[in-house]
Amino acid sequence: MITMINGKKYIELVELFFSFLLKEFGFELLKVTENGNVFYDVEYTDYKRTVSISYENIEDYLQVIVFRLKNGELPNYDDKSQTLHLNELNKRVLPLISKEEIQENNEKFNIIFTNTELEKKLLKSAKELRIILKYWDKI
């Protein structure tokens, strides 16, 4: 049986887990998309990059992508040099960071408690994205 999350709850979770985008990195909420109860997307931008945190409810598929903007526009989705998926960014940044930095980063999220698998995925993605953005200039 699939346990689905409603759009309002998903958006609240994203805003909580990814609040560091606004507080630490100067991003702004750009757009929130709800396609029924099937697909949700929350986008933030700092006008150089747009971060998309999307979730396909039926497939239980969470995806975090950072788009490098060109003249304020989103790149072609298939342009791998400008459309950067979180797992690819992790591969690039992981060799640059120390265990201490990972621990320090994790501590920033100690006030967030998770109950569901989706919440755990969102928290993991938020932790990863925060540390990636700290190293953005080296990517």
Domain ranges of the chain: 7-138
69: CB partners within 8 A, 6+ apart: 45, 47, 48, 49, 50, 75
Helix (H, G, I), strand (E, B) or coil at 51: strand
pLDDT tens-digit map of 47-72:
999 999 999 999 999 999 999 999 98
Cα(40)–Cα(7) distance, rounded to whole angstroms?
Answer: 6
Strand partners, 51: 44, 66
pLDDT at 1: 52
Q: What is the H or E stretch that residue 1 is in?
A: none
Provide the terminal-to-terminal Cα distance of the chain, rounded to the nearest Å: 40
Helix and strand element counts for the chain (H, E):
5, 5
Structure tokens at 109: 């999220």
pLDDT at 2: 60
CA dihedral 110, 111, 114, 119 (to 10 degrees): -90
pLDDT tens-digit map of 74-102:
999 999 999 999 999 999 999 999 999 99
Angle at 91 between CA 20 and CA 43, to 5 degrees: 35
pLDDT at 3: 74
pTM over 0.75: yes
Structure tokens at 73: 């526009």
pLDDT tens-digit map of 2-45:
678 999 999 999 999 999 999 999 999 999 999 999 999 999 99
Cα(119)–Cα(57) distance, rounded to whole angstroms?
Answer: 13
Cα(45)–Cα(67) distance, rounded to whole angstroms?
Answer: 9
